[in-house]
């Protein structure tokens, strides 16, 4: 590890020299690229330098303790040595985490798809609650959300809603949300006051650029039709809705929220690219997962990941056994503590490497999972 850190520090010094090189300053694109690389290395290099300074202070303190000191000075030096050793240990753990490989998709925007599952109207209402939760969380993060497609129900929920989230490092925060979300509460449709279990599925797809996913025009079929649902005469009588079918995979994306046919087509293709990219990743992940899978980053949408229990006011993430008893604030978008806990668990899993025990491997409900009626 320390050889790698020494190499990084050498590269960092070289980048510092390049930033002041007239040849780099004369080329704006080159300067920006160098400045970005320099900024990317700054945190870990500073932490490594702090680690080395702390090591030097430890050696100086040990040297001092070898000398003849009065009791008060010796006691102070021994206490300082303990503090320095604890600091060095913390810095070493920090450096290990900072050296972990980053997911190249972490900086991407995302497309989130929420669908009501087991539970009928109550599942659709819960899908609406999840959409509200993620929208509020996005507001807290300073992100922008845009609905791409929605199929609302008469009761105010959604059979399906697809929306885009744009901002800084969106995927790094939302990538843990893919899976089956379960709710336990008394539905508004329940006259007997019995608690029901319903579910909704969430898929978080990193946005795929055109350069990432090439779509052959000959492999897609585009159908134009009139929009349905609320929106007035201009929506319901104009052929602006678009359905895009990817023939090789059978993936179908429909979009009708915009009055413009071109805008609906652009949105549908945006979702299609994300789904094709995710499909390729899932296929690759399927090969890798036969050997080993990440505990919280699998993105397996058949896996029951979380329960929202209204009577107890709690939210439990089953992947890491993490529970919070403040459900109302969570549903208002207060997800930071949960996201941080999942990120920490994933980093710990990476640090354990292939020696991780089976107890921390992912638990998947499988493709035929039934979430209604399961235990807590």
Sheet holding 251-255, edge to edge: 220-225, 241-246, 251-255
pLDDT of 315 higher than 90: yes
User: Does 357 have pLDDT greater than 70?
Assistant: no
What tens digit of pLDDT does each residue of 55-114 get? Answer: 999 999 999 999 888 888 899 999 999 999 999 999 998 888 888 777 788 888 999 999
Q: Is the pLDDT of residue 345 over 70?
A: yes
Domain with CATH 3.30.70.1660 in the chain: 110-288+297-354
**pLDDT of 154 over the 90 cut:** no
> Is 254 within 8 Å of 243 (Cβ atoms)?
yes
First to last CA, the chain: 42
Characterize the bridge pairing of strands 179-185 and 251-255.
unpaired
Q: Where in the chain is the domain with CATH 1.20.58?
A: 2-98
Whether the predicted pLDDT of 32 surpasses 70 = yes
Instruction: Among 3.10.20.30, 3.30.70.1660, 3.40.50.970, 2.40.33.10, name the CATH number for the domain at 110-288+297-354.
Output: 3.30.70.1660
What tokens appear for 177 in the block?
């949300």
pLDDT at 258 over 80: no
Q: What phi-psi label fits residue 95: left (phi over 0), alpha (psi between -120 and 50 degrees) or beta? A: alpha
Mean pLDDT of the 331-353 span: 88
> pLDDT: is 313 or 290 the higher one?
313
Pick the closest to residue 171 from 302, 339, 11, 327 (CA basis): 339
Predicted confidence (pLDDT) per residue in 194-239, tens digit: 889 999 999 999 887 655 677 888 888 888 877 665 444 444 556 6
Find where tokens 């922008």 sit: 144
**For residue 336, what pLDDT band results from cuts at 50, 70 and 90?**
very high
Write down the pLDDT at residue 211: 55
Residue 255's pLDDT band (cuts 50, 70, 90)? confident
Residue of 38, 53, 51 lying closest to 5 (CA atoms)? 51
Q: What is the pLDDT of residues 263-290, one digit of tens each?
A: 888 888 888 888 888 787 777 565 444 3
Side by side, the strands of the sheet bearing 158-166 are 144-152, 158-166, 110-116, 196-206, 179-185, 304-309, 314-317, 322-324
CATH architecture, range 2-98? Up-down Bundle (1.20)
Give the strand pairing for 158-166 and 144-152. Answer: antiparallel
Helices (H), the chain: 2-19, 22-25, 28-66, 71-98, 121-141, 170-174, 233-236, 261-289, 327-331, 336-352
């Amino acid at each position: 590890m320390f050889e790698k850190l020494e190499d990084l520090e050498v590269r960092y010094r070289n980048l510092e020299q390049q930033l002041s090189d007239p040849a780099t300053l004369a080329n704006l694109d080159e300067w920006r690229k160098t400045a970005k690389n320099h900024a990317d290395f700054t945190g870990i290099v500073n932490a490594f330098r702090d680690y080395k300074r702390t090591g030097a202070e430890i050696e100086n303190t040990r040297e001092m303790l070898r000398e003849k000191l009065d009791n008060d000075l010796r006691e102070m030096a021994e206490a300082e040595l303990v503090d320095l050793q604890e600091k060095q240990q913390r810095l070493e753990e920090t450096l290990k985490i900072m050296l972990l490989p980053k997911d190249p998709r972490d900086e991407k925007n995302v497309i989130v798809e929420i669908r009501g599952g087991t539970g009928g109207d109550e599942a659709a209402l819960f899908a609406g609650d999840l959409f509200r939760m993620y929208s509020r969380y996005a507001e807290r993060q300073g992100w922008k959300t845009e609905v791409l497609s929605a199929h609302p129900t008469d009761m105010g929920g959604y059979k399906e809603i697809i929306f885009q989230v744009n901002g800084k490092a969106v995927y790094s925060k939302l990538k843990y949300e893919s899976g089956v979300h379960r709710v336990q509460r008394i539905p508004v449709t329940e006259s007997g006051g019995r608690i029901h279990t319903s579910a909704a599925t969430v898929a978080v797809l990193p946005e795929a650029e055109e350069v990432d996913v090439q779509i052959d025009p000959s492999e897609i079929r585009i159908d134009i039709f009139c929009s349905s649902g609320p929106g007035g005469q201009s929506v319901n009588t104009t052929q602006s809705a678009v359905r895009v079918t990817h023939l090789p995979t059978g993936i179908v994306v429909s979009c009708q929220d915009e009055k413009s046919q071109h805008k609906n087509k652009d949105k549908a293709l945006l979702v299609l690219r994300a789904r094709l990219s995710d499909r390729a990743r899932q296929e690759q992940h399927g090969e890798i997962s036969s050997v080993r899978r990440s505990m919280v980053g699998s993105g397996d949408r058949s896996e029951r990941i979380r329960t929202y229990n209204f009577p107890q006011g709690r939210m439990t993430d089953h992947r890491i056994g993490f529970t919070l008893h403040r459900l109302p604030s969570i549903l208002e978008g207060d997800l930071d503590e949960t996201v941080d806990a999942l990120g920490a668990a994933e980093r710990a899993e990476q640090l354990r490497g292939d020696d991780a025990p089976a107890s921390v491997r992912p638990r998947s409900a499988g493709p035929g999972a039934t979430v209604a009626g399961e235990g807590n």
